[in-house]
Structure 1
Amino acid sequence: MTSSDFEKLIIQQKDKLFRFAISILKDSNEAQDAVQEVVLKLWKNRRLMDKAQNLESYCLNTIKNHCFDVLRKQKHHQNYLQTNIHESLEESRFDAIDFVEKLKQELHQLPVQQRMAIELKDFQGLDYDEISEIMGQNTNTVRVHVSRGRKKLFEIFKEELANV
């Protein structure tokens, strides 16, 4: 892969990489750092990218793995889940929060696999086969994650709207 090809690829993928990183890390500064580190890593290993069948999936898979490494190193993952659960319990009224913000908050309450599947399917617009490749799971498992996550979100908003 030439430097020009690499530059074009990164320009096309940087926003997706950032959105995906922030959906996992929940911190824009950490997500920016992760994208920078992954771009550097991809640059160093650009010869391996020539063998990849789908460069977009390759890049998203690389950022996913890096983000999980960051979470593991910081032992941040469990604290992150507990903090978000605590914050959601303190929220008093649905109408006081913007709908989009409420959706983001509730999306972050889903299990990691469901959240990633929904992020890739509904926000990134990837198909199930691409998501399957990125997440390292079979297509049916990805479909189940998306379905269960959507169902949980629907139930949450159904309850919230009934209380309004």
Structure 2
Amino acid sequence: MPTASINQLCLRIAESNDEAAFGKLFRQFYPRLLIFTTAILKNRETAEEAVEDVFLKLWENRKVLPAVNNLSYYLLVAAKHKALDYLEKAKTIPQISIDDAVLDAGVAMQIDPETALISAENIRIIQSAINGLPPRCRLIFLLVKEDGLKYRETADLLNISIKTVETQMSLALRKIGEALQSHSINGSKSYQSDSSRK
């Protein structure tokens, strides 16, 4: 969902307590927050409770929504803190590895093509390349590219250095580029062999 649309929803929620707009916001962010908190808590039911708590708090504090610059980052940070609160209450705080924060293969990145020239086949190749990235690399890539987090925000959220974010983003972009280039070379070879049969 474009940032402008999210900002409009936030304004409607804050100014007129628009529950329908809040429902749209909930449906937009709930799946990603659930995956993120499940990776921390290792328990889907507890993760669901944590995310629901985040949205309950968001509704209670809805008047400040228009002042939030990056709602995606805000919600991810809130979900992280809520999940850690749950762990604290359970007195079982493990060392959280971002390698564990693997996004389900069924949750594909919603790629918004920058131009209409990107074909559906290229989008399929890009999604396949993203799904094939190592877990840490994929998580960082999706936080930056899909959630729109800055490198500093991603580093802060995952308790890693900006250098690690830069390195993992370079790796991700290189792998995606290689996948596209490989398809381009293989595609042109198959086209040439098809032409020679005519």
TM-score (norm 2): 0.48
List alignment gaps of at least 5 residues for structure 1: 85-105, 110-115, 152-164
Which is bigger in relative contact order (C-alpha 8 A, separation at least 6)? 1
Corresponding residue for 1:133?
153
Choose which of 29, 41, 52 in structure 1 pairs with 2:68. 52
Alpha-carbon distance in 2 for matches of 1:146, 1:30:
32
- Higher radius of gyration, 1 or 2: 2
2:99 pairs with 1:107: yes
Alpha-carbon distance in 1 for matches of 2:142, 2:33:
12
Alpha-carbon distance in 2 for matches of 1:143, 1:77:
27
2:45 pairs with 1:29: yes
TM-superposition CA deviations, 1:74-103 (whole Å, max 9, x none): 22113x77xx9xxxxxxxxxxxxxxxxxxx
Runs of 4+ residues over 6 Å off in structure 1: none
Task: Percent identity, please.
Answer: 26
Instruction: Output the aligned Cα RMSD.
Output: 3.6
Alpha-carbon distance in 1 for matches of 2:74, 2:58:
10
TM-superposition CA deviations, 1:53-90 (whole Å, max 9, x none): 11111111111111111112222113x77xx9xxxxxx
The equivalences for 1:43-122 within 5 A come to: 43-78=59-94, 107-108=99-100, 118=137, 120-122=139-141
Alpha-carbon distance in 2 for matches of 1:12, 1:117:
23
Q: What letter matches 1:40 in structure 2?
A: L
Corresponding residue for 2:164?
144
**Deviation at residue 119 of structure 1 after TM alignment:** 6.2
Structure number with the higher helix fraction is 1
Tell me if structure 2 keeps the 8 A contact 1:17–1:63: yes
Tell me if structure 1 keeps the 8 A contact 2:30–2:51: yes
CA distance 1:20–1:76, change in 2 (3 Å): same
Tell me if structure 2 keeps the 8 A contact 1:120–1:126: no
Tell me if structure 1 keeps the 8 A contact 2:73–2:149: no
Alpha-carbon distance in 1 for matches of 2:63, 2:69:
13
CA distance 1:117–1:49, change in 2 (3 Å): farther
